């Protein structure tokens, strides 16, 4: 079973993602701050991290760079900011890819499987 770490400052978002991905047979661990997300990335050893770009305590790129300091896990930016500059900024910051929100659970699960298989 794939273990996905979802980091988003909106608890409703992480709850919805958990529900959607569990339907697809994935285990979901959630964090609502960048700091707790980094700690869970260390302790839980997820197969993939789904990370919001904008959070109040740390930006998505800051969290991604912290995770990159100890792990090569795929990290997908998950954001409503989906312009070409936003996507380029995410990739330049070390994200493995980008998923625009909102999206369906099927689309999200497909993207996750795509990045896991490319790993």
The structural domains of the chain, ordered by start, are: 3-118 (3.40.50.2300)
Segment holding 32, helix H or strand E: none
Residue 11 to residues 17, 84, 86, 96, Cα–Cα distance (Å) = 10, 27, 23, 24
Across 56-85, average pLDDT = 88
Across 50-60, average pLDDT = 90
Buried b (16+ CB within 10 A) or exposed e, 42-70: eeeebbbbbbbbebeebbbbebbebbeee
**What is residue 10's three-state secondary structure?**
coil
Two structure tokens written together for 16: 């919805």
What does the pLDDT read at residue 18?
94
Across 13-31, average pLDDT = 95
pLDDT over 80 (residue 106): yes
What does the pLDDT read at residue 4?
97
DSSP 47: S
């Amino acid at each position: 079973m794939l273990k996905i770490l979802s980091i988003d400052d909106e608890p409703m978002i992480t709850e919805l993602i958990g529900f959607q991905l569990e339907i697809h047979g994935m285990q979901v661990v959630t964090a609502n701050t960048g700091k707790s997300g980094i700690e869970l990335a260390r302790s839980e050893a997820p197969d993939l991290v789904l990370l919001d770009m904008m959070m109040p305590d740390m930006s998505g790129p800051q969290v991604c760079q912290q995770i990159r300091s100890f792990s090569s896990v795929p990290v997908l930016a998950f954001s409503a900011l989906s312009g070409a500059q936003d996507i380029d900024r995410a990739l330049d910051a070390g994200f493995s890819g980008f998923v625009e929100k909102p999206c369906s659970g099927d689309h999200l699960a497909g993207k996750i499987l795509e990045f896991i298989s490319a790993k």
